[in-house]
Amino acid sequence: MNTQTVNIQRTSRSILRDNMRNYTPQPVRSAQEVWAQFRADNGFARLSPPLLTAPTHNTKLDKTQAFGLSLAPARLSGYNTCTHSTIACRRVCLNTAGKGAYSSVQRARIAKTKFLHEHTDEFATLLMHEVHSLYMQYGKDLRMRLNVLSDLRWEELLPQVFECAPRAQFYDYTKDWDRMFVDMPANYTLAASAHERTTEDDVRFMVDAGHDVSVVFSTPAGQPLPHTYAGQHVTDADLSDAWMLMRPRKDGRGRVGGLRAKGRARGDISGFVKNPLGS
Ligand code: SF4
């Protein structure tokens, strides 16, 4: 990555951060109006559907009964929502899995991502409104993933969203490992995602430091994952998308969450998908 690209990424991230930090809550009705008009201007029906996807509309989230925000990953919308993505993760990203195979779903995610960047006040107003309404309904049973297909620093961008549902459980995966070492809202839990440049030493370091790490293995569907990786016990993360919300280990160390390669990840030769016999 050259210096100019890094600077552009920093600039777009800091503009969004500044806009979000200084966001002025709008009346919900007028924010819905702006969203409906934005959609109409981008070729959609003039409606203001929720920003959040219900668990029943996403196979992964359905398992954990979590609501999720599905933006367009990496630079698909023209705005970078995954500043730490890698060549391999962009290639195997689950963006096109399930309903993502439909072009209408892709276009809708792109529109939502542009709306976030171009109408930040209205986006933040609607997101806060939806999270708060769901919290009133589900209370502490509410689970929420704000980065289903993105890797934004919500703890910096919109810390208020965690405060408006204080007993809800927010969780995400991140390739931005620096996020694992900053103060997080008490109800936001992250797992670090391994990628093609992640070594076993990196995984060991994170686990020793008390952090959970997700690792994708070439293990076929239905087959058992390796017992250990990098000398650590492997938890089956395919059983629950929210495995990192399990009770912390008594010894204070983190866990390795193993995932079986799916979709395009099955043919990966970059090192993103780890060989279960490799340790
Ligand atoms: S960081 Fe995650 S969401 Fe972004 S491109 Fe990579 S796999 Fe997809």
Give the tens place of pLDDT for each residue, 73-96: 999 999 999 999 999 999 999 888
Give backbone dihedrals phi and psi of 43, rounded to 5 degrees, phi first. 90, 15
The closest-lying atom of ligand 1 relative to the alpha carbon of residue 95 is 8
**Ligand 1 pocket, residue 264 CB under 6 Å:** no
pLDDT of residue 204: 97
Cβ-Cβ contacts under 8 Å for 157 (sequence gap 6 or more): 16, 17, 20, 21
**Ligand 1 pocket, residue 155 CB under 6 Å:** no
pLDDT of residue 10: 53
pLDDT of residue 2: 53
Q: Report which of 64, 43, 39, 42 is spatially closest to residue 53, judged by C-alpha positions.
A: 64
> From CA 127, how far away is CA 18, in angstroms rounded?
17
The closest-lying atom of ligand 1 relative to the alpha carbon of residue 149 is 3
The closest-lying atom of ligand 1 relative to the alpha carbon of residue 173 is 2
**Ligand 1 pocket, residue 73 CB under 6 Å:** yes
Taking every pair of Cα atoms in the chain, the longest distance, rounded to a whole number of angstroms, is 56
Nearest Cα residue to atom 8 of ligand 1: 93
> From CA 205, how far away is CA 208, in angstroms rounded?
5
The whole-angstrom distance between residue 234's C-alpha and the CA centroid of its chain comes to 21
The closest-lying atom of ligand 1 relative to the alpha carbon of residue 94 is 8
The closest-lying atom of ligand 1 relative to the alpha carbon of residue 175 is 1
**Ligand 1 pocket, residue 66 CB under 6 Å:** no
Angle at 121 between CA 119 and CA 127, to 5 degrees: 100
CA of 132 to the centre of ligand 1 (A): 27
**Ligand 1 pocket, residue 85 CB under 6 Å:** yes
> From CA 182, how far away is CA 194, in angstroms rounded?
19
CA of 119 to the centre of ligand 1 (A): 23
pLDDT of residue 241: 87
pLDDT of residue 279: 46
CA of 276 to the centre of ligand 1 (A): 22
**Ligand 1 pocket, residue 64 CB under 6 Å:** no
pTM of this structure = 0.91
pLDDT of residue 83: 95
CA of 151 to the centre of ligand 1 (A): 7
Are 111 and 38 contacting, i.e. CB atoms less than 8 angstroms apart? yes
Starting at the edge strand found earlier in the chain, the sheet holding 188-193 runs 52-53, 66-69, 143-145, 169-174, 188-193, 213-217, 256-260, 232-236, 228-229
Task: State which residues of the chain have pLDDT below 50.
Answer: 1, 6, 8, 279
CA of 86 to the centre of ligand 1 (A): 8
Q: Is 27 helix (H, G, I), strand (E, B) or coil?
A: coil
Nearest Cα residue to atom 5 of ligand 1: 90
